Amino acid sequence: MNGTEVRALRKDEHRAAAAVTSRALADSPTSVAMYGGDPLNALAGLYRELGPFFELLPSPQIAAFAGDCVVAAAGVAPPGGCIGSFLAGNISELLDAPLPPVGDPARAHAFWAHWAQADVGEEHWHLGPVGVEPGFQGRGIGGLVMHEVCGWLDEGGRMAWLETDKERNVRFYSALGFEVASVATVLGVETWYMRRDPVR
């Protein structure tokens, strides 16, 4: 796409990437189940969680830029750095605990515990969050970012794993070589777990 640059984020751009992905995911089924139907609550909750996530990930985080402005981003966590590693406490205890009410920050951790439980046992690179600024969706920007990510994965022979809660995203990721590994209902939200083996 003309005028769009795709490259790795610098450290001083991590918060901008968190803001973009938070806005992109604010209306997702999982976000609504976590934070309720108020998009401002979802935006605030997601940014609180995703800001540190981008800053702590050591692997390359890829983004698309319009000038100096981040318009899309994809986080990639290295082996051993998946969502479960960010949870405080034992995953089985989180799974067994009563579900916190909508809007409670701990409710997000309940979802993450389910995702961590479903995490593939093989060494892998965990993809997410991925998002495009809402006003720029549908222009192929997400595809540009993901092609860059997939090229990096293939170059290193890296297997990737992700979860998504929208069927249209399944089609998007399938076109990039991801395959559905399983489908589950996570706290009322239909969730697809997908893997991508490197293209040699």
- Rounded to an integer, what distance in angstroms lies between the CA atom of residue 94 and that of residue 43? 24
* 196 pLDDT more than 70: yes
The rounded distance, in Å, linking the Cα atoms of 199 and 53 is: 28
Going by pLDDT thresholds of 50, 70 and 90, the confidence category of residue 12 is very high
* Phi and psi angles of residue 102, each rounded to the nearest 5 degrees, phi first: -55, 135
Give the largest CA-CA distance in the chain. Answer: 50
C-alpha distance from residue 180 to each of 162, 170, 188, 189 (Å): 10, 8, 19, 16
- Amino acid letter for position 81: G
Name residue 56's amino acid: L
Mean pLDDT of 72-84: 89
pLDDT tens digits, 126-169: 999 999 999 999 999 999 999 999 999 999 999 999 999 999 99
Contacts of 12 (CB under 8 A, 6+ apart): none
Coil, strand or helix at 181: strand
**What are the residue boundaries of the structural domains of the chain, listed by start?**
4-158
Q: Report the C-alpha gap between 140 and 47 in whole angstroms.
A: 24
Average pLDDT over residues 45-63: 88
Give the model's pLDDT for residue 134. 96
| Residue with token string 């409710």 | 107
pTM: 0.93
Rg of the chain's alpha carbons, rounded to an integer? 16
**φ, ψ dihedrals at 136, nearest 5°:** -115, 5
Q: What is the CATH number of domain 4-158?
A: 3.40.630.30
Residue 174 CA to residue 177 CA, distance in Å, equals 5
Q: Give the mean model confidence (pLDDT) for residues 83-92.
A: 74
